A and B are shown apart, each in its own frame.
Chain A
């Protein structure tokens, strides 16, 4: 057991193991245009997003922050270890059940922040993106709200050529 007792040995054992693997549908030019229009509204997005020749000429790239899994994934790749848990755990962002481990009894949550690293490889029409997530680490903290468990997860996207696009990190605080 960890110092403050929130990280059980079976939780510590799943750090670094991939879960939530998903593969996108091929990204379309329309996906890219609509994302750019939505996030720039009411001003138009930079002109290259709306250039009707950009796709054919290979110049159309997606905004860095686009989500290509928002509406649906083409398929997921279960790791065979997923277990069913009460929806109350999912409601606070628990992820341990994806690796066969019962989530901790911490049913309040805060978003501790986002962080992303971009490699420079861009998403273009036709790309098929694979997403995979790991728990990077658990940390325990004392706060005025009590003992808190901070879970850092890292989600990495790669394209159909195996090139890494980005790694996005989230910090989930449960207490």
Chain B
């Protein structure tokens, strides 16, 4: 009898599979912590008036933090079973205070490399609570042979 509890979920890395959502709430608590490690002390991320002067409803989050969360989403999903080789994205609209930002994606391609490892192509993006994609991107993950 097979112990299914030790196996990866069926189809977890197949074409069409979903990258498990990584969700965080945008706002000063997250932005300040990121600013503190990335020395990203910029008025638009710290002050509502500066955000308004830049044409937004108030202070807004860093693209770099969305970028970091995209890495977190892949790490949370793949863990020690593989590694992120490539990531790219465009920042279309920033996160505002209170936004629920979710990083998720889908497996769009799966090939076997010469060394026997499996290479996954992903669509990976950030979306807000309305489902608007705020940072669309793509990624490539190599699973261990």
Q: Which of B63-103 contact A (CB under 8 A)?
A: 63, 65, 67-69, 71-72, 75-76, 79, 83-91
Whether A113 pairs with B75 at a CB distance below 8 angstroms is: no
> Which chain A residues numbered 18 to 60 have a C-beta less than 8 Å away from chain B?
34-35, 37-42, 46
A40 touches B29 (CB 8 A): no
- Return A24 CB to nearest CB of chain B, in Å: 13
Residues of B within 8 A of A38 (CB): 33-34, 36-37
In the complex, how many angstroms separate the beta carbon of A92 from the nearest chain B beta carbon? 14
Q: How many positions in chain A have a CB within 8 Å of any CB in the partner chain?
A: 25
Decide yes or no: A113 and B34 within 8 Å by CB, A46-B79, A63-B75 being known contacts.
Answer: no
With A and B bound together, what is the CA distance between A46 and B71 in angstroms?
Answer: 13
Closest to A34 in B: B37
Q: Does B130 contact A (CB under 8 A)?
A: no
Instruction: Count B-side interface residues using an 8 Å CB cutoff.
Output: 29
Main secondary structure of the interface of A (DSSP, over half): mixed
Residues of A within 8 A of B75 (CB): 46, 63-64
Query: Which A residues touch B71, using CB under 8 A?
Result: 39, 63-65
* Given A35-B37, A41-B30, A42-B24, 5 other A-B residues pairs in contact with their CB atoms under 8 A: A39-B68, A63-B68, A111-B91, A113-B88, A116-B86
Q: Which residues of B contact A (CB under 8 A)?
A: 24, 29-30, 33-34, 36-40, 63, 65, 67-69, 71-72, 75-76, 79, 83-91
Q: Supply 26 A–B pairs (Cβ within 8 Å), ascending by A.
A: A34-B37, A37-B33, A38-B33, A38-B34, A39-B34, A39-B72, A41-B24, A41-B29, A46-B75, A46-B76, A65-B68, A65-B71, A67-B37, A70-B40, A113-B90, A114-B63, A114-B67, A114-B91, A115-B87, A115-B88, A117-B85, A117-B86, A118-B83, A118-B84, A118-B85, A118-B86
